[in-house]
Structure 1
Amino acid sequence: MNTRVRLSIERQVSFAEGSSFGDTGPYERLTGSAFFELDPNDPANANVVDFALAPRNANGLVEFRADLDILKPVDLARGNGCLLYGVNNRGNKTVVRVFNDAAPDNDPLTLAAAGNGFLMRQGYTVVWSGWQGDLVAGDGLLTIDLPEALENGKPVRGKVRQEFIAEQEDVLWMPLSGAPSIRCYPALDLDTTHATMTVREHERDPRVPVPPDAWAFAEAEMVDGALQVRPSAAACYMKGGFKPGWIYELVYETEGSRVMGLGIVSIRDLVSMLLHDAVDASDAPNPLAGHERAYIYGASLSARVIRQFIYDGYNVDPQGRKVFAAAYPHVSGAGRLFTNARFAQVGRYPRQHEEHQWPSERYPFAYSTTPDAFSDSLDCVMKRPESDPLVVHTHTNTEYWNRHASLGHTSPRTGDDIEFPDAVRVYFLASAQHTSVMPSPDDICQQRSNVMNNGPLMRAVLTMMHRWVTEGTPPPASIVPRRTDGTLVSPEEALAAFPKVPGFPTPASPSRLPLYDYGPGFDQGLVTEHPPQPVPGKEYTVQMPQVDEDGNDLGGLRSPEVMVPVGTHTGWNLRRAGFAEGDLASLAGSFVPFARTRAERETNGDPRRSIEERYASHEEYMRQMAEAVRQLQAAGFLLEEDAERYIEAAKSRDPLNEAAPLAPLTLSKAMPSPSASVR
């Protein structure tokens, strides 16, 4: 076998202060490194761009290493036999945060890091590893050291495009990568006349050239009232500062590209070894030997990793062994990745205003076979039924407005509904935003953020997925808006139905998806058109969920807060004046409460019924909330412990009481009794 994975466990410590998690008992944390040796000539690695240009060791193999982090039961026999691989998001560990309602923590050790303990109480072993090859080590980020592509012993050269958007005043310079945690492609030449800089307020506006003397490859700061500018091949300085919200685009020459496609391959080979082998490549014992199956979870960028992983056929290892029994991608939109490319910028992705032309959204979009709108292709994400995992997929309203989600369940050619494969379930979390715990860009948004907690529905979906694998019990049918029943409509129809609430403007349009020309080498991982050009007359059709009279989504899986609302929840928010006003504010949603009384709403001109017109008393509000909880429990979309959390939160808030805040419910994050288990 020409694939070798060796583990180095450098630290083994107690997790959560030695607390016991129900039947599973206490957990421990193992941290260290995974070392890889892969064969560039192995057919299993044939599509990795520039793999042939990576340096080789004496055995003709390519070497690299990745950070490794594991949370496991001290006694594996007390676990549920499932290895849950959490795809990190830009190096951040998210799977425990999401399912355990825990605070963000890249060094999870304390009891607080366990949150409500859900994954531990269910007996999962959680594994993370570095996969994203352009991250800078620090702040607990998981990294991977990928080899560099060399031509005749020298780093490859080429042009790259960067985009900068300052979301605050007085920003003088920015890293070329856009963020300090991302490794940049350095400028080969600091002469700005050899590069191209443009600026525009909105994505759809014409690009306006920025004169070469108005900016520099440099860092800058004010020291004792004096401006100090230091030349740098890794930074961009704008004289007078960047205009907040405006899009600056830079094209320049660079050198040095890592073999980024190996990042996803490393997930395959690491998990396969942990799942199937008793020892690693050095004959050291596998610390997770004996697990019966593996699952993979990821959200946003990490969910697109999963979709790309499946599409590329990586769910079978070089020995022909299946890797993941099931996969849970959350809020991917219709996208995959553009990481297997020369000069890849892994974390960039298209939204209406930001990074709109980055190529992570491209055909095929759906799990089932569809015809492309602009070619003769017939393709799909899942095309290897013998090795593909079972899939449960969830997304929110944000993914329709800003991430082209409708293309995941409609035909790109006709816009009609399509059916999902038998091995796939997709659930639309109605009226939710991209993530309930995302930092809210309130300084650029017109409305408060929609921080409705998606965790309860997601815990139920994960539980359904586990039973699908272990018991053969299929989850309920997919729940997405449909053209056939009028719950999936054009953006214009959705906006026309949205209530006209003073002070609550709606988007002019969603994020569109033109077909772009990235150059003749695009399919081989080479982008040569900077910026890419839209192909005239070719744009994919995106559609939106229809809304009810309150502006809340139809056609999806509604949480109790949407079934018994105190306001309008959306997956979109608009940028305020001074920050490209009116464009969608990245992935933020909105929450706008109802008026308390009929008199208040009539005074304000609000067409939505007031709180008092919906709920005659706190008891009536509680009755409706209890019925909503009962319905979701009966359908399998709410676990008992989360049903109790909703009831407890609703009891503590009387929406008729003017002293009670009208906001998404704050659900208890406390750990339930040790017996709370749904295994």
Structure 2
Amino acid sequence: MLRVAAVVLLLSTPAMAHVVRFEETSRTAFPANFGAGAYVVIQGVAHGELDPADPRNAVIADLAIAPRNAAGRVEYRSEVTLLRPADPARFNGRLVHEVTNRGRKFLFAYLYDASLPNQAALNALATEESVGLGRPLAEGAAMVWNGWDPDVPQGGGNLRLQVPVLAGLTATIRDEFVFGTRLPATATTAPLSYPLAPPAALRLTMRWTRAQAPVDVAFEVAGPQAIRLPGGGRFEAGAIYEATYAARDPRPLGIGFAATRDIASWLRHGGAPMADLPVRGVLGVGISQAGRYLRHHIDLGMNADEAGRRVFDGVLAHISGAGRVFINERFAQPNRTATWHEDFAFPEHWFPLARGAGRDPATDPLVLEVNTSTEYWQKGAGLTHTTPDATADLPEVAGARHYLVAGTKHGGRAGQGVAPGNCANPNNPHSAGPLLRALLVALDAWVTEGRAPPPSRVPRLADGTLVPAETVLGGFPPIAHLPPGVTPIAPVIDWVAGTRPDVGWRPLVPAVDADGNERAGVLLPDIAVPLGTYTGWNLYRAENIAREPCDREGSFMPFARTDAARAPGDPRPSVAARWPTQAAFIAATRAAGADLVRDRLLLEEDAAAYVRGAEALGAVWRP
């Protein structure tokens, strides 16, 4: 095992992005070889400086008033993890830059089926299991992660960003807390996003749904940046608590965009610890919040570094819907993610929702946007490829593709079960991983070879596969608790007051067949040849919020094995009626996989894995 003490690697040429030095704090041998030789895990800190007078930095809110060093620059420190081949000769020229999600590494869990007991173990990259299938390590790619948000939880291997404090600035702001979903149900304190400003004028309210009027709740201050119920009582799980208070000391959080931009550019242009690895292509990957970050990054022009050079050649944004991140604003809260029940009136959606045709080929990346059924129901994903009023499909835009992973929930990845948790219906276990693996290969070929990826595959108005939510719910088979509708998508008028316009944009959802399964998008073999109904929505089980959509969850309702075993009222044919023999089921699975391999939407090894899975289901057909 290799370990080094902290080493400072200095910038060698002034032409590089504005990381002024990289401080390497540890170097550890990765404990497995997937085919491209040994790998090393490098931890460190990138020290950067920003010139507030540079036009490329002008979009960063409050950068102009941030404290500066003696050279007139604004400093930041970003924690960095790099996983790279130990032997430069084994490097394939690809740098995969995963934008962290609240400081966490998601790449190997969502794309490569890594499954460990907790996120800290995934963050650590200390075991063979932490990289799952390990495909990038078999190919010789390098991977990097960096901190871009100062507010991510400390510990657990989360990567953080340090930026200056705008000391003395105050404002009245609003925080929201939902225990049991976004916060632990057992927590007895509510963490405030910012320190309280004296005098600590604060109001705490509670309601069960956003349709109800909030009622005042007694509380007590539990420190400079926390409150609790009197005597440390437990908060009601599922209820919406809102604290309105005088806050102080914001930070220019938009520096996070510049930090990611500068670190990616530093590494691709030979900055340590990549000086011996010539980079041919940089692929940005973002999952959920990080996908919204990448949409925002491109919108702000952050894909050109301070020298005007392209940063990411290609971007894969997964489960971002039509949103962006609430970060580039004074007293912003980038951890927010708006859904029907939680964070409903925090900024996430603003015009334009869809990618425009004005792509700059010199600096803008090639983009693949991938969404699940959940993003159509809760995150306005349909608005990424329709007009805002949903009266027309938008034409394919040069340099961009869109895909729906049909029948999948927001967090769909390997190892998920059907236990309902706090939801009313059994949960959806379907994984988007096989499609994401194929699409990252396609993105790589687009970037490095100029080979276009598969055409977009999403539901469309033109063929009747993109419809109002009422159409789906009105014809859905009577097999599950149904949601009240699609989550409204609209700009936020005043996030402190929590106000939105009465009428927003018009998100539509994928049409379904008689079983309730989606008809359009990418139907992976276990959705094309299903053993049940898979949805991207679910409902909470608790009585006080029983009609509220369960936070970004899905449902799975299995088919009965035989028609005689069908539940009363279930109109769906049984497994035996669809595939009288296991051989028929295996043949259908093999054919569905072959079609996707032909269309470059599934890798051959994953098609084979689906067939093996079908072969392992013999018990379904046994008497």
Deviation, structure 1 residue 36:
0.6
Match of 1:296 in 2: 284
Instruction: Identify the residue that residue 186 of structure 1 maps to in structure 2.
Output: 195
Amino acid across the alignment from 2:18: T
**How many residues in Structure 1 have an aligned counterpart in Structure 2?**
598
| Deviation (angstroms), 1:79 | 2.1
Q: Displacement, 1:288?
A: 5.4
Query: Alignment partner for residue 637 of structure 1, among 586, 601, 608?
Result: 601
- 1:455 maps to 433
Q: Counterpart of 1:495 in 2: which secondary structure?
A: helix
Which consecutive unaligned segments of at least 5 residues does structure 2 have? 1-13
* Residue 472 (structure 2) aligned to one of 474, 494, 502: 494
Secondary structure in 1 aligned to 2:543?
coil
Letter in 1 for 2:215: P
1:354-369 alignment runs, 5 A limit: 354-368=342-356
Question: Could you tell me which residue of structure 2 aligns to residue 228 of structure 1?
Answer: none
- Measure how far apart 1:243 and its partner are: 2.4
Residues 272 and 323 of structure 1 are in contact (CA less than 8 Å); yes or no, is this contact kept in structure 2?
yes
Q: Distance in 2 between matches of 1:497 and 1:657?
A: 30
Q: 1:123 aligns with which of 140, 143, 164?
A: 140
Q: 1:50 aligns with which of 58, 62, 75?
A: 62
Q: Distance in 1 between matches of 2:48 and 2:534?
A: 46
The CA distance in 2 between the partners of 1:87 and 1:584, in whole Å, is: 28
Distance of aligned partners of 1:170 and 1:563 in 2 relative to their CA distance in 1, 3 Å threshold: closer
| Matching of residues 66-465 of structure 1 within 5 Å | 66-103=78-115, 104=119, 105-149=122-166, 154-167=167-180, 171=186, 173-177=188-192, 184-189=193-198, 194-205=201-212, 207-211=213-217, 214-218=218-222, 233-237=225-229, 241-276=234-269, 278-279=270-271, 286-287=274-275, 289-368=277-356, 383-437=359-413, 442-465=420-443
**SS at 1:533's partner residue?**
coil
**Distance between the aligned counterparts of 1:597 and 1:648, measured in 2?**
23
Tell me what 1:34 maps to.
46
* Aligned partners of 2:537 and 2:553 also within 8 Å: yes
Deviation at 1:155, TM superposition (A): 2.6
- CA deviations on 1:135-173 (whole Å, 9 max, x unpaired) are 242111101111112xxxx43111121111122897573
**Per the alignment, do residues 187 and 173 of structure 1 end up closer, same or farther by CA in structure 2, a change over 3 Å counting?**
farther
Unaligned runs of 5+ in 1: 178-183, 219-230, 370-381, 519-528, 660-679
- In the alignment, which residue of structure 1 is the partner of 2:554? 589
Distance 1:492 1:655, change over 3 A: farther
Query: Do the aligned residues in 2 keep the contact of 1:394 with 1:428 (CA within 8 Å)?
Result: yes
Give the residue type in structure 1 aligned to 2:382: S
Distance apart, 1:508 and its partner CA: 1.1
Distance 1:578 1:644 in 2: 44
| Contact 1:596/1:658, CA 8 A, preserved across alignment | no
Give 1:238 shift. 5.7
Which secondary structure state, in structure 2, belongs to the residue aligned with residue 426 of structure 1? strand
Contact 1:274-1:288 within 8 A present in 2 as well: no
CA contact (8 A) 1:190 1:216 kept: no
Any idea what the Cα deviations from partners look like across 1:478-537, whole Å, max 9, x if unmatched? 011001100000111111222122xx121111111244312xxxxxxxxxx52232234x
444, 448, 452: which is aligned to 1:466? 444
Greater Cα offset, 195-204 or 67-76: 195-204
Decide whether the 8 Å contact of 1:306 with 1:329 is kept in 2: yes
Give the residue type in structure 2 aligned to 1:656. Answer: V
Q: 118-127 or 566-575, which moves further after superposition? A: 118-127
* Amino acid in structure 2 at the alignment position of 1:506: L
Percent of residue pairs bearing the same amino acid type: 35
- Return the alpha-carbon distance in structure 2 between the equivalents of residues 138 and 125 of structure 1: 24
CA distances 1:104-148 after superposition (whole Å, capped 9, x unpaired): 411002122231111111221000011112124211110111111
Residue 665 of structure 1 aligns with which residue?
Answer: none
Q: Give the conservation status (yes or no) of the 8 Å contact 2:308–2:363.
A: no
Q: Cα 1:279–1:201, aligned 2, differ >3 Å: closer, same or farther?
A: closer
**Gap change, CA 1:170 and 1:334, over 3 Å in 2:** closer
Task: Output the aligned Cα RMSD.
Answer: 2.1
The residue number in structure 1 matching 2:26 is 11
Matched residues in 2 for 1:368 and 1:465: separation? Answer: 20
Give the Cα–Cα distance (whole angstroms) in 2 for the partners of residues 288 and 143 of structure 1.
26
SS at match of 1:254: strand
Say whether residues 1:479 and 2:451 are aligned partners. no
Question: For the residues of structure 2 that align with 1:186 and 1:655, how far apart are their CA atoms?
Answer: 58
User: 2:62 touches 2:330 (CA, 8 Å); kept in 1?
Assistant: yes
Per-residue deviation, residues 200-257 of structure 1 (Å, max 9, x unmatched) = 211222x22315xx22223xxxxxxxxxxxx664233267532221111111001111
Relative distance call for 1:4 and 1:462 in structure 2 (3 A) is: closer
Q: Which amino acid aligns with 1:157?
A: T
Amino acid at match of 1:166: F
Hey, what's the Cα distance between the residues in 1 that align with 2:113 and 2:20?
33
- CA–CA distance in 1 between the matches of 2:490 and 2:302? 29
C-alpha change, 1:308 and 1:514, in structure 2 (3 Å) is closer
Q: Map residues 564-643 of structure 1 onto 2, 5 A cutoff.
A: 564-601=529-566, 603-643=567-607
Answer with 66-75 or 91-100: which moved more: 91-100
CA contact (8 A) 2:416 2:430 kept: no
Please state if 1:543 is matched with 2:508: yes
